[in-house]
Amino acid sequence: QVQLQESGPGLVKPSETLSLTCTVSGYSISSASYWGWIRQAPGKGLEWIGSIYHSGSTYYEPSLKSRVTLSVDTSKNQFSLRLSSVTAADTAVYFCGRITMGDYWGQGTLVTVSS
């Protein structure tokens, strides 16, 4: 079956860059699909961050666009998120998923921004 797993540091210092990777198994990331990231701050709703096609085409949430970079590594069947200049407001559970059809998602990983 299709599985997605987020990985990366659970603690990031303010002003540094948050980096997460999503590893996809059971499905080729090179298929005709957009893959992406959403997040959920503690006690808050879901927030869409951005999506990427296997060719590298990207779409970003406008309010985060200046700080977000998505990339894809088809050889590893992975895609990644980088969020720069983080603050405490970026503390959240980050989920990766298949945006096309919205059907497959990881379990999420908590990233805390704190010194």
Q: Could you list the residues that contact another protein (CB under 8 A)?
A: 38, 45-48, 50-51, 59-63, 95, 99, 101-103, 105-108
Q: Which residues, in sequence order, are bridge partners of residue 59?
A: 51
Nearer to another protein among residue 18 and residue 50 (C-beta): 50
Nearer to another protein among residue 89 and residue 115 (C-beta): 89
- For residue 98, what is the enclosing H or E element? strand 92-98
CB of 77 to another protein, least distance (A): 20
Q: Which of 93, 80, 112, 94 is nearest to 16 (CA)?
A: 112
Nearer to another protein among residue 77 and residue 108 (C-beta): 108
CB of 41 to another protein, least distance (A): 12
3-state class (DSSP) for residue 73: strand
d(CA 74, CA 96): 16
CB of 14 to another protein, least distance (A): 25
